[in-house]
A and B are shown apart, each in its own frame.
Chain A
């Protein structure tokens, strides 16, 4: 069974937000909300500055605090792909998962249930890439099976330095950023 993850090359990302718009269109994300977004991080002291542009979303953590705290099992790890999903018909809208997520990846859908990135599993099951990956004009995003040593995501992680977001939270994120 695959364990999906995503590798994003921050040296290629230009922050064009195509991924954001593609996600909103593909997943019918309500107006005023987003499942993925662009974060720009500037570090250093002028003139020695570094800039990192990241396309961020749910990290589909290996140790997801949102799943642990869910009282109904609505937030769960799907067997296929080990992807963190929300079953809307089990969600009571207690918002514990939103408070538990260190990445701010979740929000309350206007219909009341909690919503977030699904890694476009409806597309992945048809053999396609997630919508954000498929539209990226710089091809900075790669999606694949982290448990397959020969997968493109593992090849990238072996060839380049990478980091995850807030690793100190112990959530073991599966979205990696190449630096």
Chain B
């Protein structure tokens, strides 16, 4: 028997660590989602650079949506800070041992690349601006017209997307005190979850997109550009099929990585096994098995396989489920991870 009692009673620390609430799961989810959208945008740009028409590849337009979403994620992160007037301090130093430090600097570059990627489509999404600032369209053409520039932008999107996706997992992974997080599989798991969420978001935007032309006015045009950042034309079925095929691959890899995460937890120390039980049979089991594994991965894979065989019509359901599953993955990992701790050796 080992019985430990303590007089410590610090808020958010006792009886169980709970310093990170909804903000961090939202930030990690949105970060992964944007990472996935950047990779897809990069892939679309590579195809356009090869000479394909850009009209079909609506994911090329997603950097604008990604830019908006990343702002939401950063807002969530800012809300989580408890000493937020000092947030500028993060950009006065580089701390090589801190993933949060280099992640913050990477985010600055991500913002730059997303901004350039978004601006090359902004004159189409916001026609008023395109008319008022004709240089914008000329500048955009000078990039999209040069396969070399477009290819460079594509690889910047893919590289930074992969980096951002892995970073969201590594951020938690490095904390030795939390056994649930302390596995390097978290990086690739969050990356592939982000890729599938990115594909789902692009899919959802493509389906929900109204085919009416973008609003012409200044204000309505700006609002339209923000909420309707994709191409004005509905994507062709073959493009949609391609996206679904990507999503099935991402989800399958995610499933394998979830399996590897469990194997890594249950074949490691007792602390890791206890942490693993939090999600497999403990208080987070229902969310883990029900929402993340079944509703968020298995059902979307099955539905999308049937859609690809044209057994059932295309619906938004798999995309919605993937997004719900992706957010729940972050929510469960952040909360269960905080509840996990190193188990003291009971001795005899």
Contact = CB atoms under 8 A, between A and B. Distances in A.
Real binding pair: yes
Given A70-B95, A93-B84, A100-B176, A108 B344 contact: no
A157 interface: no
B91 to A, nearest CB: 9
Contact of B178 (A20, A99, A166): A99
A139 B108 CA distance: 53
B2 A104 contact: no
Interface string A15-42: 0010010000000000011100111111
B342 A169 contact: yes
Most chain B beta carbons < 10 A, residue from A40, A42, A95: A95
Given A90-B86, A100-B177, A68 B97 contact: yes
A74 interface: yes
A35 to B, nearest CB: 9
Secondary structure type dominating chain A contacts: loop
B175 interface: yes
Contacts of A43: 1-3, 346-348
A152 interface: no
Interface string B3-33: 1111111111110010110000000000000
Interface residues of A, number: 50
B1 A71 contact: no
Contacts of A71: 90, 95, 98, 100-101, 104
Contacts of B280: none
Chain B: interface residue count, which band? Answer: 35 or more
A95 B89 contact: no
Nearest to A46: B1
Contacts of A88: 83
Contacts of B338: 99
Contact of B89 (A32, A37, A42, A92): A92
Nearest to A165: B344
Contacts of A113: 82-83, 86
Nearest to A96: B100
B267 interface: no
Given A43-B347, A104-B17, A168-B342, A72 B89 contact: yes
A169 B9 contact: no
B8 A37 contact: yes
Contacts of A100: 174-177
B92 interface: yes
Interface in A60-114: 65, 67-74, 88-96, 98-102, 104, 106-108, 111-113
B87 interface: yes
Given A71-B98, A72-B89, A166 B344 contact: yes
Given A92-B90, A100-B176, A107 B13 contact: yes
B290 to A, nearest CB: 26
Nearest to A67: B97
A92 B13 contact: no
B10, B17, B175, B176 pick with most chain A CB within 10 angstroms: B10
B1 A42 contact: yes
A150 interface: no
A124 B35 CA distance: 49
A44 interface: yes
* Residue from A42, A74, A88, A96 whose CB has the most chain B CB atoms within 10 Å: A96
Given A69-B100, A69-B175, A98-B19, A104 B80 contact: no
Contact of B177 (A72, A93, A102, A112): A102
18 contacts: A17-B7, A32-B10, A37-B7, A41-B4, A43-B1, A56-B8, A70-B98, A71-B90, A71-B101, A72-B93, A92-B86, A93-B82, A100-B175, A102-B342, A107-B10, A107-B13, A112-B82, A112-B83
- What 3 A-B pairs come out closest when comparing CB atoms? A93-B82, A93-B83, A112-B83
Given A39-B5, A43-B1, A107-B12, 14 more contacts: A37-B8, A41-B2, A68-B174, A71-B95, A71-B100, A72-B89, A74-B89, A93-B84, A94-B100, A95-B80, A99-B337, A107-B10, A108-B82, A112-B82
Interface of A: 17, 20, 32-34, 37-45, 56, 65, 67-74, 88-96, 98-102, 104, 106-108, 111-113, 166, 168-171
Interface of B: 1-14, 17, 19-20, 80-84, 86-87, 89-90, 92-93, 95, 97-101, 104, 174-178, 269, 337-338, 341-342, 344-348
